A and B are shown apart, each in its own frame.
Chain A
Amino acid sequence: DSGVTQTPKHLITATGQRVTLRCSPRSGDLSVYWYQQSLDQGLQFLIQYYNGEERAKGNILERFSAQQFPDLHSELNLSSLELGDSALYFCASSVGDSVHEQYFGPGTRLTVT
């Protein structure tokens, strides 16, 4: 158990809908990272927040957004969902800006029908 929690574990929704994924980092970690994992693309970095501020942006679609709250938990919002958004979404956290020492949560499996 990494200490990173994610909810929900599974999510099934229809095209065009909007969902919110939630992540709580390990105690004391200030950075939260979001990743998408699909069979064809592998694990892709989406976005990083550090102590409430956006720190780095990867291959995140404009339909996706995230935020980190004062208690350091983070939410990833996915809107206007398409079939191709079906994937595993992982959250990771690290102490400070240590991108090389990230600890991953169990993931949320999103299925868009």
Chain B
Amino acid sequence: QKEVEQDPGPLSVPEGAIVSLNCTYSNSAFQYFMWYRQYSRKGPELLMYTYSSGNKEDGRFTAQVDKSSKYISLFIRDSQPSDSATYLCAMSGYSGAGSYQLTFGKGTKLSVIP
């Protein structure tokens, strides 16, 4: 079982729709939960991060973490064609000797159709 599972999609929605992107994980020691957006041929861009369980909102984006279910979500309201990209979830875990590292999901490719 992979540490982080993410449905690769592709996911296609009409403009204005609410998008739900999800990841599950197996390592209960993960503490920070991140969402990155990656446009084609570009580097990942940090959208937001959440510490432990709870919700966090930033404009049209809302991140949710449910540690009891080992499940995280990213919601995009009023989706726009410019939101078309691959969305990567990531989680930070202890890697020993006082250091931490990120483990990424494989990403979900989203297309928002005008």
Contact = CB atoms under 8 A, between A and B. Distances in A.
Interface string A93-113: 000010111111111000000
A50 B96 CA distance: 15
Interface residues of B, number: 25
B80 interface: no
Given A42-B107, A100-B34, A105 B43 contact: yes
Interface string A32-74: 0100000000111100100000011110000000000000000
Given A42-B107, A45-B103, A99-B102, A104 B45 contact: yes
16 contacts: A2-B43, A4-B43, A42-B88, A42-B104, A42-B107, A43-B44, A43-B104, A56-B97, A97-B99, A99-B101, A100-B32, A100-B49, A100-B51, A100-B92, A100-B102, A104-B45
